[in-house]
Amino acid sequence: MTDIFKGSKAPNATPEEREFELRAHLGSIWTGGRLFIGMYTFMLASIAFAYFYLRSSNNAQLWRPNHITAPTYYGFFIYGFMVLTAILAIYGQWRLRKGEVADWQVAGWTGVASGLIALFLQIWEFTRVPFYPGSSGYASTFIGYAVMNIGTIVVGTYWLETTLARGLRMRKELGDGAEISSSPAAQSFRANVASMTYNWGFIALGATLFLVLFYLM
Amino acid sequence: MTISAERPTEVATSVAPPARVSTPWTQRPGWMSQHLGTAIVGGFLGYILGHWFGNYISSSYPYIVNSGQNSIAVTLALTGMVVGWLLGIGALNYPLAKLIGKDAPAESEVKGWSKYFRYSTDHKVVGMQYVVGVLLFMFTGGLLAMAIRTELLNPTTHVFGPGTYIEIVSEHGTIMMMMATSIIVGPLGNYLVPLMIGSRRMAFPRIEAFSFWIFIAGYMVIFSALPYGGFSTGWTGYAPLQTQNGPGMISYLLGFAVIGMGMMAAGFNIAVSIINYRAPGMTWSRVPIFVWSILATASLLTLATPVLFAGGLFGILDKTVQTAFYVDEHGGSSYLWQNLFWFFGHPEVYIMALPGFGIVAEILPVFTRKPLFAYKVAASGMIGVALLSFFVWQHHLFQSGINPDMRPLFMLTTELISIPTGFIFLVGMGTLYRAKIRFEIPMLFAMALFFNFLIGGVTGVFLSDVPVNVTVHGGFFVLSHFHYTIMGGLLFAFMAGLYFWLPKMTGRMMNKKLGLIHFWMMFVFFNLTFFPMFIIGLLGQPRRVFTYASNLQGLNDFSSISAFLLGLSFLVFAFNLVWSMWISPEKAPANPWDSLGLEWQTASPVPAHNFDRIPVIMTDPYHYSEPGAPALADFGGASSGAATSDSHSAKNEGADND
């Protein structure tokens, strides 16, 4: 979410001012992460509203003719890889807190790979849907959700990847163990990891809801 | 331990020597780097590339061949334009560099006016960029308004055809409404919030800069509707007309989505900054009321705009990949758009109103020399309005798409929202009560807001009642009502804010005589333009129609001529701006209005990092005329412009104005 924190850019900042700005910076990452969830929630709520609105309207009896369903296997695989990414992010953060930086990196890069697979499958699923996008209310909302999900996976995986890349950069600049040191940069990094992980947890929660709506109901 | 207590420990040696970093070419000063010019080139190339790619992938699709309109090519062209624009200005440099582990590029300090044409992370530069941006929006939207009133001069002799007329109306409404969402938050919010909360920076400066540059890209996308043949839906974009419209509709939908991204970014950054970057001692009960209003607005921007974004996305999908979100015959629903649109659209009304209330509440104590009456009521009123605004959107659907049994509920919630709005009004009246008012130009605009918004607000209460709503829906009565709230409220507040804070932002005073001419022309002709429209509406003239009954010509002509003179008042303002800033600049005193606000206590012009020392806040900034009131803040002995050059600085001037 942010750069490597290098302290106040103001000339002649006192140590206390630097400390104050560091706390504000850490708080911003925390608040920003939560506010991002708020934005994402309203985005998801829009598609959920569309789903239930069109379902209850059932205009021209075309909400879901013949109970058409998007490819279930694809749905489960996409969901599985998204949840796997979330679990790996959470696991990585837990190991990072224990000081196991290598575990965090392995879990993180595996999570990036998992996210990219989910992204590929979500795009590929478009070629396998057994309905025309405008053939029904269900078909339309599914396409809308799939497009939104592509955006979600891209943003989530980008955040995870750039956090990992930032860790590597920090290690290069500050030396081994930089991620778990008490330096301001490390504190900022860990706050970013926590925020990113929290968001991935929420993404997994949202994916669960829409798995039920589009594939199981 | 507070920063203040720690100050004796300051030592110059605690500052690390600046690291020697090479500045990439994209960030170097001068014209061989990234700036507005490269953004234009990038946008142009992106447009061409997107159009070519769209044609390449889709020109053989049967529905495109049959319709003769390649909506995919148009969508990708406009998307390419936005991406190219952002690449050209440098907004994507860091997000892309991050992917390969690169650090943020060192920011060179660009001197002179060319910094305003660049991707700057200085909130003061972004604030000034927004000033120019929203004035540009307002100017183009205003020209379209003049065209509308020209057409309505005569019911039978026409300047435009009916199709062109509705395109002009639609473009005017869309430009104005989208501009209005940012008119205060953008320029004044970005510039002033860090100064008012005692911060040296915004929480996410790159997101802040992104919000501005994508806002301009959105403006271009919306304007691209005209060469594409426009859109005939009005600013509300209702389906099924939306579905039937040509490529101009894509400009509308994509423009909303693009500006929506800017609004989310702006709201997100400002909300996080206010929550986290308040100076030590600035408890929630000491936060300036303008900042409260911006916080409430930023919350709405952040949470309501995603719904608009999603609604726009669904519309674009309908246009491009042929989904049927808003097509009733294929299982969609045209009412779905109305719900999504107004779920954003009604909070948007408060996105526009709240910052206006914040400005006048900030200005009133300065010119009455009285503490702000019932500060906590004002703050709670703003939060109350923000919360309730999420529960009223269905009143826009009283005439369509709502179960009639649900109408009373939304009538009630709409009427309820007048209560916290009334709080804010009462706070204003309480502050004015028995005050010795200084009628400076910002104060005149602030008081005009109360007059205008009273008319807009009371007619709003009428409109919230189903029987009245059903009777006057879709007519000039509604049109007049919302112009009274938005233009009469927001725009007058914006002008109040500009006259009040431009001396701080530019170091120059606006010419008072020209300002008075501007105010009186704007106030008188605003009312003469829009008040007759209540009568025109009650007599049955519908909105968005280029002709009308001949017996209404007198009122329409009166309104049109007043509108032209109202337009002239903005030219007076523009002339004043040019005159006062460039032709005959008058240096502004450090604190020309004797304000106690924190933003006036720092040096003028505001230094790069706002405050030499982060201030420690002692009290709220409204202790006017209170003998013995505590000083506003401890600046740690730093020499901060106003604090040294003006007697009304951090120290409260007590009763000196009584």
Of B9, B102, B331, the CB nearest to A137: B331
Task: Look at residue B505 in the predicted model and tell me its pLDDT.
Answer: 95
C-beta separation of A107 from A95 below 8 A? yes
Asked whether residue A12 is domain-assigned, the answer is: no
Task: Indicate the pLDDT class of residue B30, thresholds 50, 70 and 90.
Answer: low
Of B6, B310, B329, the CB nearest to A46: B310
SS3 B542: strand
The domain spanning residue A131 has which CATH number? 1.20.120.80
- How far apart (Å, rounded) are the C-alpha atoms in residues B336 and B579? 50
What are the chain B neighbours of A14 within 8 Å (beta carbons)?
A: 3, 6-7, 9-10, 14, 613
Q: What is the H or E stretch that residue B39 is in? A: helix B36-58
Query: Alpha helices of chain A — where are they, by DSSP H?
Result: 15-57, 72-97, 101-125, 137-174, 184-211
Task: Name the pairing type of β-strands B586-587 and B616-617.
Answer: unpaired
Other Cβ atoms closer than 10 A to B425? 18
| Chain A interface disruption, residue of B13, B109, B272, most A CBs within 10 A | B272
SS3 B650: coil
Strand partners, B634: B616
- Please tell me which residue, A179 or B591, carries the higher pLDDT value: B591
> If 0-12 CB within 10 Å is exposed, 13-18 middle and 19+ buried, where does residue B495 land?
buried
Give the residue-averaged pLDDT of B161-172. Answer: 94
Task: For residue B648, give the DSSP letter.
Answer: S
CB distance A50–B199 less than 8 Å? no
Least confident of A91-95, B63-67, B457-461, B595-599: B63-67
Domain that holds residue A150: 35-216
The whole-chain average pLDDT of chain B stands at 89
pLDDT, tens digit (0-9, with 9 covering 90-100), for B105-117: 666 666 778 889 9
Give the residue-averaged pLDDT of B74-78. Answer: 97
Of A14, A42, A47, the CB nearest to B10: A14
Q: Is B538 on the interface with A (CB under 8 A)?
A: no
pLDDT, tens digit (0-9, with 9 covering 90-100), for B192-251: 999 999 999 999 999 999 999 999 999 999 999 999 999 999 999 999 999 999 999 999
Residues of chain A with pLDDT > 70: what percent?
95
Of A10, A20, A64, the CB nearest to B609: A10
pLDDT, tens digit (0-9, with 9 covering 90-100), for B348-371: 888 888 999 999 999 999 999 999
Q: What is the H or E stretch that residue B123 is in? A: helix B123-151
- How far apart (Å, rounded) are the C-alpha atoms in residues B210 and B217? 10
CB distance A166–B98 less than 8 Å? yes
Give the position of tokens 């594409």. B228
**pLDDT at B10 exceeding the cut of 50:** no
Of A16, A35, A53, the CB nearest to B268: A35
**pLDDT at B656 exceeding the cut of 90:** no
Task: Indicate the pLDDT class of residue B653, thresholds 50, 70 and 90.
Answer: very low
Task: Look at residue A173 in the predicted model and tell me its pLDDT.
Answer: 82
- How far apart (Å, rounded) are the C-alpha atoms in residues B92 and B85? 10
Task: Look at residue A62 in the predicted model and tell me its pLDDT.
Answer: 95
The whole-chain average pLDDT of chain A stands at 93
- How far apart (Å, rounded) are the C-alpha atoms in residues B639 and B275? 27
Instruction: Calculate how close chain A gets to B185, using CA atoms only, in Å.
Output: 18
In A, residues 88-127, which contact B (CB 8 Å cutoff)? none
- The tokens describing A155, both together, are 């943003």
In A, residues 130-149, which contact B (CB 8 Å cutoff)? 132-141, 143-144, 147-148
Give the residue-averaged pLDDT of B296-312. Answer: 95
Least confident of A141-155, B268-282, B417-431: B417-431
What are the chain B neighbours of A64 within 8 Å (beta carbons)?
A: 331
**pLDDT at B262 exceeding the cut of 50:** yes
Task: Indicate the pLDDT class of residue B183, thresholds 50, 70 and 90.
Answer: confident
**pLDDT at B254 exceeding the cut of 60:** yes
CB distance B333–A3 less than 8 Å? no
Task: Look at residue B178 in the predicted model and tell me its pLDDT.
Answer: 84
| DSSP string across B259-281 | HHHHHHHHHHHHHHHHHH-PPTT
* Identity of the residue numbered B649: S
- The tokens describing B562, both together, are 């007043």
How many domains is chain A built from? 1
**pLDDT at B434 exceeding the cut of 50:** yes
Instruction: Calculate how close chain A gets to B349, using CA atoms only, in Å.
Output: 18
Task: Indicate the pLDDT class of residue B4, thresholds 50, 70 and 90.
Answer: very low
Nearest C-alpha in B relative to A141: B325
**pLDDT at B294 exceeding the cut of 90:** yes
Residues of chain B with CATH 1.20.210.10: 121-587
- Please tell me which residue, B189 or A175, carries the higher pLDDT value: B189
Residues of chain B with pLDDT > 70: what percent?
91
Task: Look at residue B354 in the predicted model and tell me its pLDDT.
Answer: 92
- Determine whether domain B121-587 maps to CATH 3.40.50.720: no
Instruction: Calculate how close chain A gets to B499, using CA atoms only, in Å.
Output: 30
Q: Is A159 on the interface with B (CB under 8 A)?
A: no
> If 0-12 CB within 10 Å is exposed, 13-18 middle and 19+ buried, where does residue B152 land?
buried
Give the position of tokens 């005159």. B579
CB distance A58–B14 less than 8 Å? no
Give the residue-averaged pLDDT of B343-351. Answer: 88
- The tokens describing B205, both together, are 């400066």
Q: What is the H or E stretch that residue B586 is in? A: strand B586-587
